[in-house]
Chain A
Amino acid sequence: MLKKLLLLGVISGLLAGIASIVYQRVYAASLGEGFTETITVAKILGGSVAGTLIAALGYALLSKVLKSNTEPVFNLLFAILSFVTILAPFAAKLPMTIEAPELFPGLAIPMHLFPAMAWFTLKPLFAKSV
Chain B
Amino acid sequence: MKKLTIFSVTLLLIAAVFAFTVVSPVWKIGDKYNISFSSNEAGGIFKTFKGSISFDEQNLATSNFNVTVDVASINTGNGLQNKHAKSDEWFDAAKYPVIHYVSRKIVKAGNAYQVTGDLEIHGVKKEFTIPFTFKRTGNTATFNGTFNVNRNDFHIGKPGGDVSDIIKVEVAVPVTK
Contacts and interface: CB of A to CB of B under 8 A. Distances in A.
Contacts of B79: 100-105
B162 to A, nearest CB: 14
Contacts of A94: 77-78
Contacts of B44: 96
A98 interface: yes
Contacts of A127: none
Please report whether the interface of chain B is mostly helix, strand, loop or mixed according to DSSP: mixed
Contacts, number: 31
B78 A93 contact: yes
A92 interface: yes
A91 B76 CA distance: 11
Contacts of A101: 75-79, 82
A99 B79 CA distance: 10
Interface in A91-130: 91-96, 98-105
Nearest to A100: B79
B77 A90 contact: no
A99 to B, nearest CB: 8
Contact of A93 (B36, B45, B77, B83): B77
A96 B34 CA distance: 11
B6 interface: no
A72 to B, nearest CB: 35
B98 to A, nearest CB: 20
B19 interface: no
A91 B77 contact: no
A91 B81 CA distance: 9
B77 A96 contact: yes
Interface in B36-91: 36, 44-45, 75-80, 82-83
Interface of A: 90-96, 98-105
18 contacts: A90-B80, A91-B78, A92-B78, A93-B76, A93-B77, A93-B78, A96-B36, A96-B45, A96-B75, A96-B77, A100-B79, A101-B76, A101-B77, A101-B78, A101-B79, A101-B82, A102-B82, A103-B79
Given A93-B77, A94-B77, 13 more contacts: A90-B80, A92-B78, A93-B78, A95-B77, A96-B77, A100-B79, A101-B75, A101-B76, A101-B78, A101-B79, A102-B82, A103-B79, A105-B79
Query: 4 tightest A-B contacts by CB?
Result: A102-B79, A94-B77, A101-B79, A93-B77
